[in-house]
Homo-oligomer: A and B are copies of this chain.
Amino acid sequence: MSRQIQTSALKSRVIDVALAHFSEVGIARTNVGDILKDANCSVGSLYHHFGNKEGIAEALFINGVNQFNGNLLAALLPHRTASAGIKSIVTFCCDWVTDQSQLAAYMLSREIKLSESAKQELREIDRALAQALSNWFVPHVESGTLQQLSTGMYVPLICGPTLEYSRMWLSGRSRKSPSDVSPILAKAAWQAVKEP
């Protein structure tokens, strides 16, 4: 088998196993020995690829962000009306949290203090997403369908209730899944940013 494929298989095996352990007992209490065993990986390989335990946690997190962002854009960009677009964002978030609940729980409960290099990488990813989102939003603001707000306000107003509800559901404090209540959340998001 080619090195590249073998290696990336190992890495994703480690990441998968790590998510399972982190979810069950938290990062602090999972020991790398167990990850090693379950992922069929040697100490040397693990530290070669990830640096340390935090490195695994960071790779898992960044992986998740990339997956989320890509799918979010794929869900949003096809929509031409502001209303449909905003609602698609909320619906996508709800569905993503609902069916990737383990990954979502990991990502929303930031159990990690990211290293500088990871922060750097995330800033880059964030910038790219912000750019793409901005391209979609600007026309709707200019045409007067969406309120003009300072850029930092859109995400909290649109996604805040959804993310907060998701956290509640993920921690067992509410019964109905985000997908179940997405219509209410989508409507609220639209109300929050549409031009009255």
- CB of B157 within 8 A of CB of A188, answer yes
- CB of A152 within 8 A of CB of B164, answer no
Q: Which of A144-159 contact B (CB under 8 A)?
A: 149-150, 152-153, 155-157, 159
- Compute how far the CA of A161 lies from the CA of B162 in the bound complex, rounded to whole angstroms: 9
Interface residues on A, range: 35 or more
The answer, yes or no, to whether A9 is at the interface (CB within 8 Å) is no
Q: Which B residue's beta carbon lies closest to that of A184?
A: B153
The answer, yes or no, to whether A160 is at the interface (CB within 8 Å) is yes
- CB of A25 within 8 A of CB of B156, answer no
Min distance, Cβ A156 to any Cβ of chain B, angstroms = 4
The answer, yes or no, to whether A12 is at the interface (CB within 8 Å) is no
Q: Which B residue's beta carbon lies closest to that of A29?
A: B113
